[in-house]
């Protein structure tokens, strides 16, 4: 891995101890390996940070994992902390209770088209498990690759 990773996976968290095994399983199995992981502890009062250290070591990711601790400022401020401290050429935001398919980072990086694209988004699938008789699956249909300029024009048009 280069001194500057291709992707920083930024994960803000607040009292997310129970999700640590799932997120590490998801990240350890990525086919794309040129990434680091920046966790931002947004004032947690549970054992999440210790669990992150344990799972980083167990999954041989301790050299890639960085944790910044801040007082509770909510998720937007935690994401801004990620933006200010990310080392990767790209930032991929992941919530602490999310998981990724094994090829997610590889597919998104390839979609940058050799860095000609500044912003890449993909499909998201939400599974809500505690609904009877079947899990509810909601899939967002916004898969696209756009330039930074196209994104700014889109945002300005929606104001």
For 57-96, write each residue's pLDDT tens digit: 998 889 999 999 999 999 999 999 999 999 998 889 999 9
Q: Where are the alpha helices (DSSP H) in the chain?
A: 20-28, 48-58, 75-85, 104-111, 148-157
Q: At residue 150, does pLDDT exceed 80?
A: no
Residue 56 half-sphere exposure toward CB, CA atoms < 13 A: 17
Mean pLDDT computed over every residue of the chain? 80
- pLDDT confidence tier of residue 153, bands split at 50, 70 and 90: low
- Which is more confidently placed, 126 or 42? 42
Please give the angle made by the CA atoms of 56, 94 and 27, to the nearest 5 degrees: 35
- Which residues 6+ apart lie within 8 Å of 147 measured at CB? 116, 117, 118, 119
Q: Which domains does the chain have, with CATH numbers?
A: 1-104 (3.90.550.10), 112-159 (no CATH)
Give the mean pLDDT of 22-33: 92
pTM of the model: 0.77
């Amino acid at each position: 891995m280069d001194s500057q990773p291709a992707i920083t996976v930024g994960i803000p968290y607040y009292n997310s101890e129970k999700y640590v095994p799932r997120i590490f399983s998801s990240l350890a199995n990525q086919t794309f390996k040129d990434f680091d992981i920046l966790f931002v502890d947004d004032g947690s009062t549970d054992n999440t940070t210790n669990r992150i250290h344990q799972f980083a070591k167990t999954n041989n990711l301790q050299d890639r994992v960085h944790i910044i601790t801040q007082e509770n400022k909510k998720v937007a401020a935690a994401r801004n902390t990620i933006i200010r401290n990310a080392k990767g050429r790209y930032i991929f935001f992941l919530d602490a209770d999310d998981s990724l398919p094994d090829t997610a980072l590889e597919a998104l990086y390839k979609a940058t088209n050799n860095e000609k694209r500044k912003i890449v988004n993909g499909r998201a699938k939400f599974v809500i498990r505690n609904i009877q008789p079947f899990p509810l699956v909601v899939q967002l249909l916004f898969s696209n690759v756009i330039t930074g300029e196209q994104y700014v024009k889109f945002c300005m048009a929606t104001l």
